[in-house]
Amino acid sequence: MRAAPLKQTRRSEEGYTLIALLALAAIMMIFITAAAPMLRQQAQRERELEAIRRGEEVAEAIRQYIRINNGVAPTSWEQLQEGVSRGTKKVQILRTSAARDPLSKSGEWRLIRPTDQAMIDFQRDLASYTRSTGQVPTNDPLLISKRELFPPPVISTNNASSDQPCNAAGDEDETENGTGQFIGVASRSRRCSVVNYYGINHHDGWIFTPLFR
């Protein structure tokens, strides 16, 4: 007859254990829910830093191509990937991994021509960045001497691209690359960025070019 209180005690202890486990699970869910946005932001940050590293590699490859080809810039992505001729050999100037944009779904870089609006916007943003920070991107002496190949655009002070709202939906630029010499690349992603590149907070506004590095 005295066993009943013992059973009740065990049931009570099991009930407290279950409640404690449920409370712990609830706390963990709250922690995971709170941490998820931070983890997503960190993952995006890492992709953006990788995109910048690869974009700078592409800019360096364009610089080498122009130097070796007497100031003539590439006219197609295939030319840059094939490398440059040195004697009877082709010298690779661009790593395969750098040839892909980690921010866009297609992985394709958008080629930037000297007179593209994107290039005009980028130079305008650089001017604003320089005024606010005093930091000036370096210019390649050879490219400066070849300015006739890359005529300076007329820079407007209105509607600066950095003031335009970025695209949070993740839409991508699917326009064709056009024809003629290109002097930089940009991501096709139009998303807002975690990292600011020269003060620019949207992926498609980042131009990777040897003209300004």
pLDDT at 160: 41
Are 197 and 166 a contacting pair, CB within 8 Å?
no
pLDDT at 10: 60
Neighbours of 74 (CB within 10 A): 20
pLDDT at 151: 43
Cα–Cα dist 150/177, whole Å = 17
Q: Which of 55-64, 69-78, 138-147 has the lowest mean pLDDT?
A: 138-147
pLDDT at 13: 60
- Give the predicted TM-score (pTM) of the model: 0.73
Cα–Cα dist 93/61, whole Å = 5
Q: Is the dihedral of CA 189, 79, 55, 96 positive or negative?
A: positive
For 54, the token pair is: 């690869």
| pLDDT at residue 55 tops 70 | yes
Look up residue 210 and give its DSSP letter: T
Cα–Cα dist 7/20, whole Å = 20
pLDDT at 149: 45
